[in-house]
Amino acid sequence: MDIVSHRLVSRRATAPLAGRIAVPGDKSISHRALMFGALAVGETRISGLLEGEDVLRTAAAMRALGAEVAHEPDGTWRVAGRGVGGLVEPADVLDMGNSGTAARLLCGVLASHHLFAVMTGDGSLRRRPMRRVIDPLSACGARFAAREGGRLPLAVQGPKEALPLEYRVPVPSAQVKSAALLCGLNAPGITRVEEPEATRDHTENMLRHFGATVQVEEAGRGRIISLQGQPELRAADVAVPGDPSSAAFLTAAALLVPGSRLTIAGVGLNELRCGLYATLGEMGADIVVENRRMQGGEPVGDLVVSYGELHGVDVPWERAPIMIDEYPVLAVIASHAVGTTRMRGLKELRVKESDRVNATAALLAVNGARVEIEGDDLIVHGDGRALPGGGLVETDMDHRIAMAALVLGAATDQPVTVDEAAFIDTSFPGFAALMNDAGAVLSPA
């Protein structure tokens, strides 16, 4: 049983982190596997599914829409799908908990189905903007009703016959791109989505895996994705790799605790998710990839992470789309590097579970780091020495802020405490126990 509950404190590790561990399944792929399984004809089996609260909300939503979703005794998940266009009207409100990914992708699914549905979420999710998907999805003929600013709760009325979409995503967002593509599945003709910067392509990979016709054209730094609508998706088994965003926290801990050498097995290495590891390489991090392989259409490998001196770097704004979830933990790493690290163009971080630019700066400042914000840039100054620590971090119900703070505490002089940690399980069940297995010292405050 995980020890996470309410306040959690992280103390300086008493020995180097070592051993071989595995992180939970990739959250982005887990959400999509359940949705595509529900939209396919036949039975899909999913292994390695992340069984955190966020993904379980998606499983419950697909059940409510008519798919059969079951957790088998051997740990795999079985999804008996309804086929594209075959979802049924849910009898109750769909509660997506804390998951912005699930809510936005599900909007795309619902928008082109002729049914009425209402979606809500927890306090954090109800503050997050949904207008970015409502506006493009409305072009298929769907009607939406939401709170001011396009915020949840949100009602969706799908059209009798959906229209294909032609949309240019204004800012790099895999969620918006994916919502449009999922909407296009149940519309005749070709749906085309252009993104200005290439973002994670799990949706495109999974569309192909389930039998859809997808074409991707390079367009400068971005891509144009074309999808043939109304395919008959065929059930296809999915092996979910380890989540690279979750692996980032164990990677950071190993880089910060002197003498550490930690192997993180089976991590997804999609090139559009690996911006953090490119940045860490520039900082001088000792990270070796072993046993590279393909798993469920995604590249996978084992990360061997060793402690060593790191140096500050300038992280270009163009890299943000492929490491958007990793900035809080990168900032923690940067606080122990020699020199200044400037992370540019973090506007998108302001509309996550919290304003992660301000929240990350606050978690570092309260523990003695020198940190600045200039516009949408986050600047962290380090001298290669451990921070004083001793701070209480206000997480604002943001799981990544909480985990980044707890990783920081493994290397600070004084313990670091987070004000609330129970919601970490929404994305990384067993986080505290896994950190402790590796050699960290986390316990209830």
CA 331 to CA 371: how far, in whole Å? 9
Whole-Å CA distances, 326 to 174, 336, 360, 427: 15, 16, 11, 14
Fold (CATH) for 27-227: UDP-n-acetylglucosamine1-carboxyvinyl-transferase; Chain (3.65.10)
Reduce the DSSP state of residue 254 to 3 states and report it: helix
Look at residue 228 in the predicted model and tell me its pLDDT.
98
DSSP 8-state symbol, 9: E
Chain-centroid distance, C-alpha 364:
22
Joined together, the tokens standing for residue 1 give 């049983």
Report which of 283, 284, 301 is spatially closest to residue 292, judged by C-alpha positions: 301
Confidence at 353, pLDDT banded by 50, 70, 90: low
Report which of 426, 432, 428 is spatially closest to residue 53, judged by C-alpha positions: 426
pLDDT, tens only, 396-413: 889 999 999 999 999 999
Q: What's the rounded mean pLDDT across residues 87-92?
A: 98
> Of 325, 396, 398, 425, which one is the catalytic site residue?
325
Look at residue 426 in the predicted model and tell me its pLDDT.
81
CB 49 within 8 A of CB 55: yes
CB 364 within 8 A of CB 401: no
pLDDT, tens only, 28-60: 999 999 999 999 999 999 999 999 999 999 999
Amino acid at 146: A
**In the block, residue with structure tokens 């995503």:** 169
Amino acid at 189: G
Look at residue 352 in the predicted model and tell me its pLDDT.
67
Does the annotation count 243 as an active-site position? Answer: no
* CATH top-level class of 8-25+241-444: alpha beta
Report which of 65, 169, 184, 190 is spatially closest to residue 116, judged by C-alpha positions: 65
pLDDT, tens only, 354-400: 789 999 999 999 999 999 999 999 999 999 999 999 999 999 889 99
DSSP string of 13-77? -SS--EEEEEPPBPHHHHHHHHHHHHHSBSEEEEES---SHHHHHHHHHHHHTT-EEEE-TTS-E
Pairing of strands 18-22, 261-268: parallel
Confidence at 2, pLDDT banded by 50, 70, 90: very low
Q: Where are the domains of the chain?
A: 8-25+241-444, 27-227
8-25+241-444 and 27-227 share one CATH topology? yes
